[in-house]
Structure 1
Amino acid sequence: MIAMNRNRREAVRHVGLRRIGVSCLALGAALVPAAALAQTAPASQDPEATEIDEVIVTGIRGSLRSAQSIKENADQIVDSITATDIGALPDRSVTEAVQRIPGVTIDRLQAREDPDRFSAEGSGVQVRGMTQVRQELNGRDTLGALDGRALGFEDVPAELMAGVDVYKNPSAELIEGGLGGTVNLRTRMPFESSGRLIAGSLSANYSDHAEQWKPQGSILFSDRFDTGSGEFGILANLAYSELASRSDGIQVSPYRARRLGDDALCAGLQNPNGDPYACGQDWIDQSYLGLTADQTLYVPEGVSWRRLDSERERLGGALALQWRPNDQTEVFLQYLRSDFDTRWDNYEAIPQVDANNNFVIPAAGTQFTFDDDGYFQSGSLRQISYWRGSQPVAGELGTQYRMATRHQEREESSNDLSLGVRYYPSDRLAVSADLQYIKSASAGWDFTIFSSAYVPEVTIDLSGGRPAAGLGPDTFTSDPANYFWHAAMDHIDDNEAEQIAGRVDVAWEFDHPVLNSIRFGGRFTDREVTNNYTQYNWQALSAPWNEPFLWMDTVLPEYAMLYSFDNFFRGDVQAPTVVMPDIELARGFLRSSDIIENIGGNARWSPRGFDAGSLSTQTEKTLAGYAVARFGWENVPVPVEGNIGLRVVRTENTARGSGFLPDLTSYPDLPADDRAFGTGAAFDVSGEQSYTDVLPSLNLKFQLTDSLIARFAASKAIARPSFNQMFPFVDLTASVNPQGTVVEGWGGAARGNPELKPMRADQFDVALEWYPSPTHSLYFTAFRKNVEDFFTTGVHTRTFEGRDFLVSGPTNGEEGTIQGFEIGYQQFYDFLPGWLGGLGLQANFTYIDSEGSTSQQYISEWDAAEVIDGLPLEGLSEKAFNIIGLYQRGPIQARLAYNWRGKYLLTNRDVSDVRLPMWQDDYGQLDGSVIVELRDGVSLAFEGNNLANSENRQLMGANTLKTRSWWVYDRRFAVTLRASF
């Protein structure tokens, strides 16, 4: 239908280098504007006769123009962010940049299942509420050793990026694996520039809560030149940055339900022995809380104070070589290296209350106050313990508080080498092939030391929202003589992953009134992940059940540290002064753990090293083939073009690890076969599975007018579980009757499940898009995903050694639907007079609704055990929006961006002491930048993040949600000098 002229061949070349199988209309628009526009000339025109001048636009306008061109010209649903200026992605990190795209949201935590530690920059990415997002680098795999699937977006320097594309309903030529969507990070290539290019930037970053300056810089060199053997291009790019951050949090412990009738020992509330503690909870609740039989009151165990000081260091480099020996052949090599190192110190003061043996009651002469629903509002707490060591305690103690210092270090690296060739035997035929090798490593260690004290005064007032609380008196909490060494906990891991992948693609164009082209190809991957991972090794040093106490004023007094949480919440929240283990002891774990190991008394802790039980190996092999036909009709009332395709992929997984059998050695009266089985010994855990998926796709694009486009897309997609979710480790248990004669049930906890099936979805999109000018657009997209086999954490049956065990861990949930819509708008108001003509606006809104039981979790409550069904999908906010004010006029550019997302489920079970579903409350953040062009190619930028000092809140619970945490963290500022020539 249309001959592959030189412009089109140029576009195909760029597409081949960027991502084989991605529409040349989509990416050619960003890389070769003139060629892209020529390809999309109205059907009534002859592209050979159409002359279009290339218009070069830089700055904010250039980035918006390029991103809009990609979206408009793509034959599938895609949104983009581009950096037309070298090293000038709109945000300081890739993660924070992609949150501006409609339907994309991010977390601000190091891990959602452990929501007590914030990330210095945005972390996890969700697309349309789903965390199953495929991450690509230049259209190929990325690989992270920690979970075996992908690097974190925060691992990749933003300065290396030319742009980011988010594909939401892909065609069959795109690599499978992104159920929410596919995010492709694009780096630059030398042939994209007309000649030599040198660019660099230098930044100073300031975090106002951490009160530290950190450096950041990048440099790029690119050139292309003719040789006797064709044209050659080289590009080298290096980026380095450091960042310090501080986060402060105050938390309310889980509310424990207090009701009568729970304690069988106190039926009728009789206390014949005169011992106020032997009777148990019912007698205490009636005596101290005034409970009656028809009441339920909810009392927290206390309030916690937390501080996290973190630093990260990121180094990234890219090398790209291109060689065009003749007009038919092109060869390229790309190498990318990423290093990401983090270190953090954590300081905590947390109530240590064992719900089985301790009860919090009002201090003498005081009463608690409650709201109308029976939830605690204010009061002075004390703690009753009727068990300590080997004897009941007939007396009242202060409330036990656990002080902790914790240090973690992690080093991550990734090496990505790709070699490819593109061959054009004719104007209508293009053949490409590439081979990729990736190796990634991640190693970390984590050490925590705890001290404890029975604090006599604990006051809490929750009536004003954020807790007003205190520990005292100060003379007590500041005295090491009142603290004992409590416990230590260590963890180490060392992980490696490597993959080789190859692909071949063929594109063949036709001169046909309907069929434009066909594309077909194949791809294979071979991936292996090795994890050395110890479980978190918590052991007591001294505690109420293993006295004598190791008092800190007499045992290692030189490691007792007075800590005051200075400038807590920037001075807005009162925090206590307490005695903690010296942070240097935690930081020195690798060289001085013997100090704690030999502390004396009945201390049980010793560091845990790698052994057979900590090693696992997983492999994955895939083989895929696809075919896509592109078609179009011109001479119809509404011109239409599109593609229809099919992708078939075979996946084979193996997993080898270990677990521990139940320990029944202390039950001599059990049946002989149960005793012979329950040795507590390690055993091999393995699994393997294979499956084949057939993934059809259809994309239609209707050119309603010159500026109005309608789209329809339908496809089937899969998302494989992460390697962490398939981690082959299980700790098996058995419940025995009180007589010790019968095993009543087999249970256990698994870190992963090698039998986990992939998630699959049928997905549909309809869209209407209006493009009245190159930087003005308005669009609406509605979508629906019918998903089956959700990944969740719950109780399921697994068979080991011929016995069925009820195991908690990763499993597949039921069916569900995710549906919603996105609205987006952008425009520069050039029609306004004078300087006002530089104003512009970007805005988008996303609404997502889910139906069906997507999460199930066995919750170990403080006072009961229950199964909670029907929690929403983790990471899914019902509403999210961006409003971005823009300005570009003369030498000045400015941007003020507000990003907001609604409440969402972080995890259906927190891994800390909460053990409840945890939610992120509504959160919005204001960021901004001003760029002044000093001369051609030289600019000075002033940037700020979290300008409004937003407070971050987390909620806990399943049906009734109560605020768990309040957090504040840094406002970040940067001054950047950028130059290119």
Structure 2
Amino acid sequence: MALMLETGIAFVKTSVSPPLARLRPRLLPTALALALAPVATAALANDTAPATDAHQLDAITVTGSQLQARAEIDARRESAGIVDSLSADDIGALPDLTIAESLRRIAGVTTVYNDDIGQFASIRAAHPDYVPVTLNGLSIATTGDHGEGTRKINLQVIPSGAVQQLQAFKSLSPEHDAGALAGLINIVPSSAFDAGQSIFTATVGSSYSTYMDVPDDNSAGRDSKHSPYGRSAQLSWAPTFANDTIGLMVTGMYQQRPRTQSNNVVTNRLYYNDQGAAVAPTSPDWNGVAAPDSFGAHSYTNMFTKHGGTVRLDWRPNERLQASLFGFAYYSDEQETRNTNRVFNLDQHQDLTASSGSARIRGVDSQWRYNDFNRDQMGLQGNLDWAIDDDNRLRVDAGRSRAWYQSTRPFVTFVYNPNTRLDYDMSGKLASFDPANASALLDGANFSNRNTYRDVREAHSYVSHLRADFGHNADADDRGLGFTAGLEVRQMDMQRDIDATYYRQRQATLEGISFIPDFAIPGYSQPALWLDADQFWNNVVPTLAVDPALSRYNSLVNDYQYDERTVAGYINGLYSTDTLRLSAGLRLDRTQFDARMARALGGQILEGQAKASDSASEWLPYLNASWSISPRWKLKASASQTLGRPNPESIATVENVDELELTINRGNPQIQPRRSTNLDLGAEFYFSDGLGMLTATVFNKQIDDDILSVSQQETIDGQVWTVTSPINGERTRYTGLELGVVNSSFAALHPALAPLGASFNLMLVEGKSSYLYQGQKLALDQLQYQSKVAGNASLFWALPRGSEIRLSANHQGKYLEEFAVEPWKNIWIKPFTTYDLTAKWMINPAWQVRLEGRNLFGAQRGRLTGPNGDLFRADLEVGRTWMANISYRY
């Protein structure tokens, strides 16, 4: 295990000064050593000694991270399955921008990023589409990332301020969504009745982004992007009424954060033999050199703004009856301007070495794109929980939610075909190239417009969910035989509409409407031309001729409508004693879908719509066991079958074209659901009178008919495009180990160490996947989105009066982002380790000041490619973020 950790951390050593480089790798092993320190002693102690209440310790005031660590220990101990959680204060204890980033602190959960912002969550290295997210146990609507019609829930929109707990279910029961192929995440919203809830809380803050180098000379949008400062505010009001039988929880938030990014890119590589002929790297006469096919850089300016709030009304007239009504609405706006400069379609390489050579330049371009991403999430839920008598309980939940996505996307690329050569050197951190005609690359008259368009993409998703659950002798403290049973109905409606205007090519040049920015573009070693966007869109575009056929094609080809209806029922038998809890259940899911999309043939839109419909019923078995061997030891085991239904986009999308990245995504209406057989075995050991916990879980999944995205290269109009479509793989297997240690206080070792706490978790995964494409069987010893190693470590020190300091590290190993038909063109995400800091000072019980540092060492995200997945493809410079907040609580 130590070897795996050292390997995962080593890649970050070279980019920092020597003192910092010596500090960084120590946190993960240090936290592990500290967290395990009391375990050996506890393990040798009398195992029959009763565990004391973790919250009753003389002379120790429990607050902050220590209190939350104990809450998470208690939650794991009390759960019948393998469930990990984060409580409210722990969600906000570190400078995570989204709850997707907070979830990566849980063992076995990783975050999938959009550049440097966490958007989606993965459990046990599975694709986020396999991980349903529920709110209070009910499904919520999603439009995926860009309205493309996926099942993954965008957690970038939902803020942490209104969340009481995040739960990650690894073992599953029949009451859970059958689509929880890899696990399920449940968001528990805050309530006025939560323990320790303040009546009123107000927080205001400011952020500072260290990397704001990209100028906003031609940025579009309502807000300027030159200032590194952001701002935020959160409010909550939680009064109770009528002798504490009615509770009201109102929250509101606002956040604005600027950011710039630089992304230097070498898209793919070319391979040659000693005679200069192009070959595959699997060819025996390959000369061992990987030559670049392009040099490019994306320069971004961004402004993120989100605001919204929640209202929750609870009614608890007595101990047997609880009812609530919960509404939420969040609005997110991202204004992104992207300038791209490339020398591309390089070929005829000469004088090749491992890091240098020369090549012919077939294309140079300057691109400008603006994206105004709007992502909104809203919904209304109601629930009733009624303990009818001592043995019987009824719960009814109903909800409807809406997700909305809209993006306004003007785009233009100007291209020059010089047909001359350049020399390059890739031996440094950033590649450099020297073109033979450098002055011609700065002459705007040489560049003519190619792809020019404006489009508006709008997507809606609605989910209605009704469920009723009945339990007899099924509560945690009930003994003997019991059962639970339930029915649910879920309706999902998704649609996307695009309105595009495309202009004819070669009608304008960059002459008079371009400039050279005062900015050394990382990864583009020459000066470059940027578009004067205002002049172009206001003065030039009105003179351009519209291409009506292309406009119609792009307005219709990616439109779709998808309706899915699921009716499910389950029954689960239970047997419980003081030390043992067994359950065996069966779930029946019947799902029907109807999809409508455009009909396309040979690049032409045909009249009418294509339709696809299907229905299927699935019987899914579940077994779970929890055995308290002693007050300190507990074993848990689980076996289940779950489904992974295809994404709507896999069925209903004809084609999705991205002219900037030269990618095409196509759907496959014949795709079949995946089915997973899941096995889990876990052991839990509680030590230091309930202050500490050690967990180990082994899991195995076998997924039949797995759905994979496979890419291949196609040449269209002289340019090489990457075309991706979903297919069913033959079989996917993966096995893993989760280890977790939490020690909320080291008082057992020495009273002076009572304020010190530590936590550590690690996930190791080995997987294999194989698939058929065009009659050829391809295999890989890793799954898509699967890191072989991921882990977290935290150290926290409680200071007087509730103040504290907390340092945390998160590591995610290399993983496969995109399959390609030619394995050497697979796209990998580089290993990524971040370090975060929080310092909290309680001025008095009402006032708190917090200073947070995110990505302290400025780790860069990046992509790899090549035969061994170790060749540079792209790096992303995002810098650090510092945040300061002041809070008032009453």
TM class, shorter-length: 0.7 to 0.9
Q: 1:420 to 1:480 in 2, by over 3 A?
A: same
Amino acid at match of 1:662: G
Partner residue, 1:105: 110
Q: TM-score, normalised by structure 1?
A: 0.75
SS in 1 for 2:613: strand
Deviation of 1:320 after TM superposition, in Å, equals: 0.5
Q: 1:835 to 1:727 in 2, by over 3 A?
A: farther
Question: For 1:181-207, what per-residue CA distance to the aligned partner results, in whole angstroms no more than 9, with x for missing partners?
Answer: 101111111222578711121110111
Matched, 1:123 2:119: yes
Deviation of 1:900 after TM superposition, in Å, equals: 1.1
SS in 1 for 2:156: helix
Please show how residues 298-697 of structure 1 align to structure 2 within 5 Å.
298-326=290-318, 328-353=320-345, 359-362=347-350, 368-371=351-354, 377-383=355-361, 400-453=363-416, 458-464=422-428, 466-470=430-434, 475-509=439-473, 515-533=480-498, 541-542=505-506, 550-553=508-511, 557=512, 559-566=513-520, 568=521, 575-584=525-534, 592=538, 595-596=540-541, 598-599=543-544, 613-634=557-578, 639-662=579-602, 681-697=606-622
- Contact between 1:784 and 1:817, CA under 8 Å: does it hold in 2? yes
Return the alpha-carbon distance in structure 1 between the equivalents of residues 773 and 531 of structure 2: 35
Which of residues 635, 650, 653 is equivalent to 1:710? 635
Partner residue, 1:742: none
Matched, 1:70 2:86: no
Amino acid at match of 1:523: E
Deviation of 1:129 after TM superposition, in Å, equals: 1.2
Amino acid at match of 1:552: L
Partner residue, 1:159: 161
SS in 2 for 1:155: coil
Q: 1:764 to 1:361 in 2, by over 3 A?
A: closer
Which of residues 902, 921, 926 is equivalent to 2:835? 926
SS in 1 for 2:541: helix
Partner residue, 1:139: 137
Q: 1:880 to 1:88 in 2, by over 3 A?
A: closer
SS in 2 for 1:143: coil
Deviation of 1:753 after TM superposition, in Å, equals: 2.8
Q: 1:305 to 1:585 in 2, by over 3 A?
A: same
Higher mean C-alpha deviation, range 721-730 or range 602-611: 602-611
Deviation of 1:150 after TM superposition, in Å, equals: 5.0
Matched, 1:251 2:265: yes
Amino acid at match of 1:620: E
Return the alpha-carbon distance in structure 2 between the equivalents of residues 293 and 322 of structure 1: 73
Return the alpha-carbon distance in structure 2 between the equivalents of residues 452 and 795 of structure 1: 26
Return the alpha-carbon distance in structure 2 between the equivalents of residues 301 and 148 of structure 1: 32
Q: Which runs of 5+ in 1 are unaligned?
A: 1-41, 110-117, 262-280, 287-291, 363-367, 372-376, 384-398, 543-548, 664-678, 733-747, 797-806, 859-864
- Contact between 1:788 and 1:814, CA under 8 Å: does it hold in 2? yes
Question: For 1:105-156, what per-residue CA distance to the aligned partner results, in whole angstroms no more than 9, with x for missing partners?
Answer: 12222xxxxxxxx24x222321111011111112111111323635301111
Matched, 1:82 2:87: yes
Deviation of 1:423 after TM superposition, in Å, equals: 2.4
Question: For 1:783-813, what per-residue CA distance to the aligned partner results, in whole angstroms no more than 9, with x for missing partners?
Answer: 00111111113499xxxxxxxxxx9722211
Which of residues 874, 878, 884 is equivalent to 1:969? 878
Which of residues 845, 865, 888 is equivalent to 1:956? 865
Return the alpha-carbon distance in structure 2 between the equivalents of residues 298 and 448 of structure 1: 32
Amino acid at match of 2:531: P
The CA RMSD measured in Å over matched residues stands at 3.8
Amino acid at match of 2:256: E
- Contact between 2:581 and 2:626, CA under 8 Å: does it hold in 1? yes
Return the alpha-carbon distance in structure 1 between the equivalents of residues 374 and 821 of structure 2: 25
Deviation of 1:436 after TM superposition, in Å, equals: 0.8
Return the alpha-carbon distance in structure 2 between the equivalents of residues 514 and 580 of structure 1: 72
Please show how residues 652-801 of structure 1 align to structure 2 within 5 Å.
652-662=592-602, 681-729=606-654, 751-772=666-687, 773-794=689-710
SS in 1 for 2:695: strand
Return the alpha-carbon distance in structure 2 between the equivalents of residues 878 and 792 of structure 1: 18
Which of residues 808, 819, 824 is equivalent to 1:897? 808
- Contact between 2:94 and 2:852, CA under 8 Å: does it hold in 1? no
Q: 1:881 to 1:758 in 2, by over 3 A?
A: same
Return the alpha-carbon distance in structure 2 between the equivalents of residues 95 and 157 of structure 1: 10
Amino acid at match of 1:686: K
Return the alpha-carbon distance in structure 2 between the equivalents of residues 243 and 838 of structure 1: 34
Q: 1:808 to 1:60 in 2, by over 3 A?
A: closer
- Contact between 1:453 and 1:483, CA under 8 Å: does it hold in 2? yes
- Contact between 2:201 and 2:237, CA under 8 Å: does it hold in 1? yes
Partner residue, 2:5: none
Q: 1:108 to 1:325 in 2, by over 3 A?
A: closer
- Contact between 1:416 and 1:438, CA under 8 Å: does it hold in 2? yes
Matched, 1:240 2:261: no
Return the alpha-carbon distance in structure 2 between the equivalents of residues 194 and 62 of structure 1: 11
Which of residues 843, 855, 878 is equivalent to 2:760? 843
Q: 1:510 to 1:868 in 2, by over 3 A?
A: closer
Deviation of 1:94 after TM superposition, in Å, equals: 0.5
Question: For 1:295-320, what per-residue CA distance to the aligned partner results, in whole angstroms no more than 9, with x for missing partners?
Answer: 68643233112222222111131110
Return the alpha-carbon distance in structure 2 between the equivalents of residues 706 and 627 of structure 1: 31
Return the alpha-carbon distance in structure 1 between the equivalents of residues 61 and 463 of structure 2: 40
How much identity, in percent, do the aligned residues show?
A: 18
Deviation of 1:208 after TM superposition, in Å, equals: 0.9
Deviation of 1:758 after TM superposition, in Å, equals: 1.9
Return the alpha-carbon distance in structure 2 between the equivalents of residues 830 and 51 of structure 1: 12
SS in 2 for 1:650: strand
Return the alpha-carbon distance in structure 2 between the equivalents of residues 342 and 51 of structure 1: 44
- Contact between 1:903 and 1:921, CA under 8 Å: does it hold in 2? yes
Q: 1:653 to 1:833 in 2, by over 3 A?
A: same
Q: 1:90 to 1:64 in 2, by over 3 A?
A: farther
Deviation of 1:599 after TM superposition, in Å, equals: 3.7
Matched, 1:872 2:782: yes
Please show how residues 55-66 of structure 1 align to structure 2 within 5 Å.
57-66=62-71
Partner residue, 1:816: 732
Which structure has more relative contact order (CA 8 Å, sep 6+)? It is 2
Return the alpha-carbon distance in structure 2 between the equivalents of residues 658 and 752 of structure 1: 12
Return the alpha-carbon distance in structure 2 between the equivalents of residues 470 and 933 of structure 1: 57
Q: TM-score, normalised by structure 2?
A: 0.82
Amino acid at match of 2:679: F
Return the alpha-carbon distance in structure 2 between the equivalents of residues 51 and 790 of structure 1: 44
- Contact between 1:243 and 1:311, CA under 8 Å: does it hold in 2? yes
Higher mean C-alpha deviation, range 872-881 or range 613-622: 613-622
Aligned residues: 798
Return the alpha-carbon distance in structure 2 between the equivalents of residues 610 and 457 of structure 1: 35
Return the alpha-carbon distance in structure 2 between the equivalents of residues 125 and 300 of structure 1: 33
SS in 2 for 1:153: coil
- Contact between 1:871 and 1:908, CA under 8 Å: does it hold in 2? no
Return the alpha-carbon distance in structure 2 between the equivalents of residues 57 and 756 of structure 1: 53
Partner residue, 2:96: 91
Which of residues 169, 173, 182 is equivalent to 2:175? 173
Partner residue, 1:10: none
